[in-house]
Structure formats: C-alpha cells, structure tokens
Structure 1
Amino acid sequence: MATIRKRVRKNGTASFQVRWLQGGRGGTWEAERFEDPEQADTFRKLVDAHKQQWPYGWIPGQGFVEPEQDPDDVPLTDRARRYVDRLTGIDPRTRDDYRREVDRHISLMVHTTRSGLVMPATIGNITADDVRDWVRLQEAGQPDAKPGRWVRRPASPKSTANRHGLLWCIVQAAIDADPPLRTKNCCARPRRLADRYRHAVG
C-alpha cells in the first residue's frame, strides 16, 4: 500500500510525499511529491489501483500528459474570452454581460481525467462528463461556512440554460476554427438558446 509522508519546511509550509514499493514487496522505493494533501491522496489511490506501479500516462514530476493534446490548446477561460471579444452584432453592454458569465461561471469548469485526476479545463480537454459536473455545480450553488449564507447561490434553470448555450457556442467555435481545435462538441446543444449566442466563430 502506498503511504503519504508530510514534510514541514523551515518556513512552515508543508509538502506531501507519496511513497510505495514499485511492484510491491521486494521492489524499489518510488516517490512523488505534492503541495496539496488531497492531490497526494488521489495519487496514492491511483498507485494502489495500479498495483503499486506508476499510473499509466503519469510522468514523474509532471503528472498526466495527454499526447493527443493539440499544441494550440489553451485554457478554456482564455478561449472563451477570445470568443466573446470577437462576437459581432452585439452592443457593448451585451459583450460585458457575456464576459461576466465567462469570468464568474464558465471559469468554474474543470477537467477530470479517466483516472480521476482533476486538472484545469482547456478548450481541447473538456468532456461531456465535465459539462454535466459543471451544470450540477450551477444548480447546487456553493454554500458558505456560515449557515444560511452562500458563496454562490444556486442558478435558476433559465440562467443555467443560458450559460450552457454560451458554452456550446464557445466549444463549437473551436470546432469551426481553422485549423480546428476539437472534432466534437461535448455540450448537448440547447434548442434556440445556442443560436442566440452564435454571432461569430473562430
């Protein structure tokens, strides 16, 4: 079984080292270091699931590297802002509204790999499951530590649908780009709402 060792630095900060015997008893000691205890625990579980081997696709010191990733891939939020800035046929107030939707809501999306590792969302790596997780987050909101208060209130069905429609268009623009950044839209197209936002591509 892989274990986690907490190491406290002289400045008071801590790191978390996952250690295991490669292949089990009789193997050599291997280790990977993390700054976050939850990431360390996730990796520990991956090592155990892979029978005390380095998880497939994991590069020591780097994490999972997806070789199929497009070299022009960019963070989802960056691509979303670029899409909004290039829209035509809208007034400045509407553009500001779209930017606010990107910064406050679309920026909350993350990508979860098949192995369960959570990583930043890019325009190329998000999946249908990531979108569903994001929609559930919109619907549930984020309660505050103080009872009865919210960090982020649950979104109404209309607001969730509108944000989903904007996200659909952002992803579709990446598909329509030359050269394309994706081959498939991971968002189920919402009827009518997507057309409201599809003023431009690229």
Structure 2
Amino acid sequence: MTRVKICGLKLVESVHIATKERADMVGFVFAKSKRQLTLQEAKQLAKDVPPSVLKVGVFVNERLENVLTIAQQVPLDVIQLHGHETNEYIQKIPYPTIKALGIRTEEDVKSLSNYPSATYMLVDAPIAGSGETFNWALLKNVQQPLILAGGLHINNVEEAIRTVNPYMVDVSSGVETNGQKDSKKIKQFIQRVKQGEMTDDRSDD
C-alpha cells in the first residue's frame, strides 16, 4: 500500500480531514513560502495530530540549531530538507530525515545516492512547489524506496504510482482550491491512493 503525505497544512480543519482519512504524514512548512507557519501555529496544529500520523517539518537551508529547536518544541517526528543540505548535515539530525531533490535528468537521479544518511529520498519537480510534474520514467530503474512529489493530484496519482511504485506520495497544491487546502480534495486524494480507482460518486461521499 502506497503511503500518503499531505504537506503545507495551515488550518485545523485540514489537519482533521487528513488524519481522519488516514494520511501517514502531515507536513508543516517552516521555510519562506505562502504556506509558512510560525512555531506557535505549528504547535497548535500539532495538538490535533494523532500519534499514528507522523508530523514532518519542512526546512530550506536552515541553521541546524533552529531546526532542532523547532523539532523539539512542536514536536516534530520527521525533518524534511529542501535546500543544499549535505549528507554531513543530515548525519547531525537525531530524527528521521527526508532529503528532497529536484529531478530533471538522469544525472539528478544518480545524485540520490549522495545522501546515504537520509531516511527517505523525496523526488520532486525541478522547481519545488511549482505544482508541475516531471518525467517519472527517469525513476524506473531506481531500487530504493522513494517519496514522489511534484504536481500530483487525484487525476494523475494512480498513473504516477504505476510508473514509479513509490513508498509514499506527497501532495500540497494538488489538494488546494484558489491556494487554500480543500477538504474534499484531501479526502479524494487519500482515498484514491489508499483504495485504488474509485467512481466519482464514491469519491463525493
């Protein structure tokens, strides 16, 4: 069963629907972004996340001490890194880690092996957060478990899973309407991944 991460959550109701529908991870963004949270906002949202769902903090080129402080205070379960962080940086983090890489070429795919200390590797479009997909076929010979991100939504996630066979899929803009998380889209996306093909009638229940 492919796992699901819903990222960029900012509202309690979005957290509720994601956890109710059995998302495996929820992501809180601490990097500069329209989805950026303050520490206090993240702490409030974290209170509504059950222990069975992992809380992920997303950072970009952040000072290690800041990452660890935020992780302890929220508290977070997993650290996701979207910048130029090195494997040596990752080694210093006492939490499971997700290292994200933008994929444009076969050389980018080969660079996945540069981060042996990362718990998970996340493969994304070259411009993270763009809502664009990339050439999934580049990943067909990758043996390690991957988290697949980049332009996923209810109408393409099944094809993405068939092509890449990822450990997890990660969605943010694909479950938004007018830049805001849409509870119906969150529910439909998770159901589509967890239950396979569904009719439109069932996904509207």
TM-score, length basis structure 2: 0.25
> RCO higher in 1 or 2 (8 Å CA, sep ≥ 6)?
2
TM-score, length basis structure 1: 0.26
Q: Please say which structure displays the higher CA radius of gyration.
A: 1
